[in-house]
Each structure stands twice: as structure tokens, then as C-alpha cells.
Amino acid sequence: MEALNTVIENITRILPEDSCQLWFSLGGEPFRLLHSKGGEAESPPLGIPSETEGAIEERSDGEVLETWFTYPNRGCLVFRRFRPVSLTELDRSRLFITVYPYYAELMIERQQYIMLKMAESTRAITSILELDDLLMQILNNAMAVIPSTDMGVLWMYDEKLGALTARTSVGQLSEGTRLMRMRIGEGIIGMTYQDGKPRLYTNQQDILKDSASISEQNMAYLMGSYNFTNTRSIISVPIAVEGQTECVLIVYQNGAYPLLTEYDLKLLLGFADQVSIAITNARLFQNVSRQNRTLVKRDEIHATLMKLTLQNKGADFIVSELGRMIGLPIVFVDLLEAEYYPKRQRWRNRFQIDELEKRFGSIRSPLYDTLESDGGKQLHYVYPIVAMNACLGFLLVELQTELTTIGQLVLEQGSAVLALEMVRKQSLSDFYYKKTNELFNELLLQKDAGILRKKGEELGLQDGQLLTVVILELASVTDMQLMNIQVHRLVGTAKRKLGHRAPVVFGFRNKVTLLMELPASGAPGDALEACRRMIQEWGKAGGSALRGGAGSGYVGLTAVAKSYNEADKALSYMASKHRTGLLSYSEIGINRLFIHQPEEELHTFIYEVFGPLRSQEGSRLEETLLAYMACNRAAGQTAERLHIHINTLYQRLRKIEELLGLSFDEPEHMLKLQLACYLRS
């Protein structure tokens, strides 16, 4: 080294002692002998350099006199003389300045070495795909540019464990370190992760203080992995990935005195940034690879399912294929037909479709839920099949953990294929409903007994049965496609809820017609109550507003038309009142007289009675007439209700008779007044 030769020549001229040595150390490296004159080389200096840059101090043991010069970055020059004669102030300054070119050249070489190692790490980031190998190389380079370090460990947070674990290390560490689980805030490592601040320790008391929070188990692993009794300084730096601390890089230095400096801390922070870039790149590569695999898998899934669709295999086969693709137990619950696919008995034994519809019939997006069965609680993934904002059914997948991305992709593709399959079946059902509606209308219009029996047999009916008709109407659906889906759901629900009691069920436009068998007693109560429960559960499951009318029960096919007309009248009455629910024809009572009367005509009739009363004395006479009729013409009770004297009541009643030209003693006049009051209320 040219600078070293020049320095030695200058020192010889400055200090012409017969016996002297010149030792130099940089950054905590071992002392190297630069110059020796006279006598054999002694052991290198073992003292601790001053931490103050530019410091000059003399040390002597009686036989040897040493002058210590301190340069930046822990550079240290020791001039040793075997004649204990102190240097003059001038000689000290000259010696300090003379050695500086050598120090500067060493610093340049070191910076070049650091840049080389940084460049190696940078190249490794772009060339090494295996993350663990890349992290090991970065850590090795970091240790190489900080030669005073003895050991380094990279800790990474594990979300599943909720703790930091040793990902890679350099130095003599036993497997015990791999077993350590450092909680957030535990020890130096956990504290660095928690607050994201770098730390430099050059005092054993500070090291012990911040290590006091380490658990007994982790401390046992740590002390069994490495001898930390000679640890003099530690650097711990956080590693942030996309703004979030995820790792901690920590290095240890052993020896007689602390050697790690703020400069080393800055160097380590530089390598920490490289680790951050390496992790980010690895994740980006993983994401790209995963997305590529997902796209390839999506194409495979799409091709497989489209093949099944073209082969017209049916829902049972499609669902079985979905189960094979995701490798999990799966079932499709068809709400239109109230059926399970695949049609296996174990699903029927575990879950009731009614309960599943009540729980999931209104969902519009996938969700996780825990279902209870005989075997206990089981996590399921529920994927609805939605069309026109109506849930046609849903896929149920048994899980132990959350569904994988590929599994979700399979269900996404499979749901579209199942939706197509259901639309195809719906088209067939529409055709069946149309034919059934035509056949039913022919039954209603037929008078010939022989042809009537034949039409009944085509509908699956026998003459002589006790039958009633129920008509259900979707009250608020205007969109034709949504209406069609809702009608199909309602038909399926009716078949499931009513079973054999409704041998004929079909939909047409916004209505569903049910021809129901009644018990021999002729009481339709149980059958109608079952319909009412079905309507209530339909509303709770998210179905559209529903109202219905039921006819009376009659024996024989010839009376079906009569029951149908009664059901239609009951439904018309419910519609005129804008009510939902089910009403039987017998429950209409006197209102059946007004069902098909124009609303304007009814208002005219009411006005003929109450109009003259209002024009004379406001609402007083109207109120009196309503109270009189409500009290069944009991004068005393009416006067008490109106809080008037009974003579005042009689005066008002005579006034009403005069204005209306009627008499309360005339039966026909009384009927008119009673009807007007009834309609008025």
C-alpha cells in the first residue's frame, strides 16, 4: 500500500527512536502492526480506545509507553515506545497528521467494500427467487461490512402464531433459537417491532434492562443457543414492508468493549431496506404466479363446466363435479323445486329445506356460517344462486377453514352454470304451467260429465273428492322476469309445504292456483291454516307481498268452478282493501254483495245518506246516526256514548228522519241506513 510506505518513511523522520512500534485498528478490527523498529514485535494493544474522535492520550505500564490517537469511525493508532519518554505536543500532532493519509485510504477501501456488498445484495434481489436464500445472502453481506459483529438474526412476524420467529441467522446459533416465539413488545426484538424504532446498545445495563421482559421459556432457548455473557453491543432495526413493520434485524458484538457505532446502525438500516425490497418483490412474484395459476385454473374450470352444460348432464352431475374440483363435501339446495343435489339421503337427514330457506333465502352474496346438525356444529360456506334479485337456491360447502381462492373460483363459475341449468328447467316448467292452466280452464268450463272426468284424470283428480280452490297473487311485483322467478319459487314452496293436500299446483302470470283436497268432514280449516303459515314464512324468507283467496269446499269436479269463482271473489276483495294474507270466501260475509260493485257507485250510495246530514249541522247528526246504529238502536246507550240527554237524542233522530225522508220504524229504510253506516265505517 503506497500510503502506508509514505507514512512509515515520514514517521521514521519524525520519531527516530531506536525501538518503537506503530499499531492501527479501524472499526473495531484487530490491531495490525504497521511499523516496528528494533526488538521483536510485542502483543497488540489490549486497551479500549477512546470514543472521542481526535482524542490523544498516553498510557504506560512502566516499561512501555503508548500514545493512543483516535480517528473517526473507531479508527485508532497506537505508537508504542520501549523507552518511556513522552512525546512533545508537536510530535503528537505531527504523528496524528502523518498517519491520516493511511486512515483515509483504509476508509476509502472500506467504503468500496461496503458498496460492493450492497451491490451484491442488489443483484441478488433481482436474480434469486428463493426468499430464504436471498435473505441469508443479504444478512451475510450486512455482517461482512460490519466486521465487529459476531452474530445476526432476522426475525419475521408470523400471523398464525401471533409472534416473531427466527427466519434466518448468521453465526453460531443452536436450534433453540428456532423454537423461540417472541411476542410483540417482548425483549429488544419485540420492542423494535412494536414501535418501529432502531436501537443501538453499547451498555450492558441497558441491554439487560430491555431484555427483562423476555419470557422464561424464550430466555431458556436464548441462553441455550449462544453465550451472551460477553455481548458488549447490539443493533436492532425494524424492517417495514409497504409501511407496516414485519421483521426485525438484530446483530450482536462480543468482546472486551463495545465496538458498534451509529455509523454501523446506518449501514444496517441500508441492508434492512434491501430486505424490505426482497420481501416485497417475493410477494409480488408470488401474487403474479398465483394470479397466473388462477387464470389457467379459471379457463380449465370454465371449459369443464361448459362441457357439462352442453352435454345436458343436469344439476346432480354438475354439483358432483364441483365437489370433485374443490375436494370438499358440497350440496346444492334448489328452492324452486325444494330439492337437494346430489340427491343423497344424508343431506335430508341433516337439514330441513324450510329452515335453510328461512335462514338463507334472502341473502344475495356469499357468506360463512355455522350450521348445527346431529353431528354438532360445522362451518359452511354459503354461495347463493341469484337471478333478478331473487335467490333461486344456494350451494353449501362443508369446511374446516376458510375456502381457498381456487375453491371460490370454482363456485363462482359453477353458480353461473347452475343458474343456466335452472333457467332451462324454468322454461320447461313455464311450458308445463301453461298447459296445466289451459287444462284447468277447460275443466272449469266443461259441462259434459264424461269429458269432465277425463280432464280431471289428466290433472290427477278423481270425481267424488272434496275439493277447494286457493288462488295466490304476488301483490307488488311488476317486473316480468322477477315475477316469473317468484312464481316458480312459490309453486315449489307450495308443493313442499302442502304436499299431497294440493295435488294440482301451477303458476300463471302473477298468480299461483292450488286445487286442494279436504278431509271428509268438509272443514277446510287445517288446509287453509297450512296456506296461511306458508304465506307468513314466505314473507319472512324475503318473498314479495302475497295475498290469496280461498273458495268453499265442494264434492265432485263439477263444483270446482264454483269454488274457483268464490276464491277469485275473495282475492278481489283482498285486492280492493290492499291487504295481504289469505281470506276465505265464507269470511267475507255481507261484503260479498259489494265485491264487484264499482267504487264510485258505493260512494254515491253513502253520500245519499250522509250528505244531507253534513250540510245541515256539520258532523253532529252524522255522528249521532253512526252511534245509534252501533248501539243497535238502544237510545239510552247511544245518549250515554254521545254524552247528551236522551231528549236531545230524540230531537236529533227526528231531525235525521226529516232530512232523509226515512223512518226508523220502516224495515226497508232501516236496511238502507244500516248498509250506509256499515260501508261508511
What pLDDT does 349 receive?
A: 62
| Of the listed ranges 112-126, 153-167, 350-364, the one predicted with least confidence | 112-126
Q: Is pTM beyond 0.75 here?
A: no
Predicted local confidence at residue 471, as pLDDT:
92
Cα(613)–Cα(319) distance, integer angstroms:
72
C-alpha grid cell, residue 467: 275439493
- Percent helix, percent strand, percent coil in the chain, to nearest 5: 50, 20, 25
Mean pLDDT for 211-215 is 88
Question: Is-contact 250 153, C-beta < 8 A?
Answer: yes
d(CA 422, CA 428): 10
pLDDT greater at residue 615 or residue 660: 660
How confident is residue 267, by pLDDT bands cut at 50, 70 and 90? confident
Q: Are 595 and 609 in contact (CB under 8 A)?
A: no
d(CA 165, CA 177): 8
8-state DSSP, 587:
G
The predicted-structure confidence for 419-437, as pLDDT tens digits, reads as follows 777 777 777 778 888 888 8
Q: Which domains does the chain have, with CATH numbers?
A: 2-112 (3.30.450), 128-284 (3.30.450.40), 312-427 (3.30.450.40), 448-588 (3.30.70.270), 599-680 (1.10.10.2840)
Q: Could you read off the pLDDT of 249-266 as tens digits, one per residue? A: 888 888 777 878 887 888
Neighbours of 457 (CB within 10 A): 12
Q: How far apart are CA 572 and CA 80, in angstroms?
A: 119
Burial of 135 (0-12, 13-18, 19+ CB in 10 A): buried
Q: What is the arithmetic mean of pLDDT over 613-617?
A: 70
pLDDT band at 1 (very low <50, low <70, confident <90, very high): low
Residues β-bridged to residue 386: 391
> To the nearest whole percent, how much of the chain has pLDDT over 90?
3
Spatial contact of 335 and 352, defined as CB atoms under 8 Å apart: no
Side chain identity at 133, as an amino acid letter?
D
Distance CA 498, CA 528 (A): 10
Q: Average of pLDDT values for 290-300? A: 69
Helix (H, G, I), strand (E, B) or coil at 521: coil
Selection from 442, 465, 444, 679 nearest residue 577 by Cα: 679
pLDDT value at position 17? 61
Cell 226497508 locates to 668
Query: What cell was used for 271?
Result: 441492508
Cα separation, 166 vs 274, in Å, equals 18
Strand boundaries in 430-544, DSSP class E: 466-474, 504-508, 511-517
Cell of 637: 246507550
pLDDT digits (tens, 9 = 90+) for 494-533: 888 888 888 889 988 889 999 988 876 655 667 788 888 8
How high is the pLDDT of residue 191?
93
Q: Name the average pLDDT for the chain.
A: 79
Model confidence over 40-57: pLDDT tens digits? 656 778 677 777 777 888
What one-character-per-residue DSSP string does 257-322 give?
S----HHHHHHHHHHHHHHHHHHHHHHHHHHHHHHHHHHHHHHHHHHHHHHHHHTT--HHHHHHHH
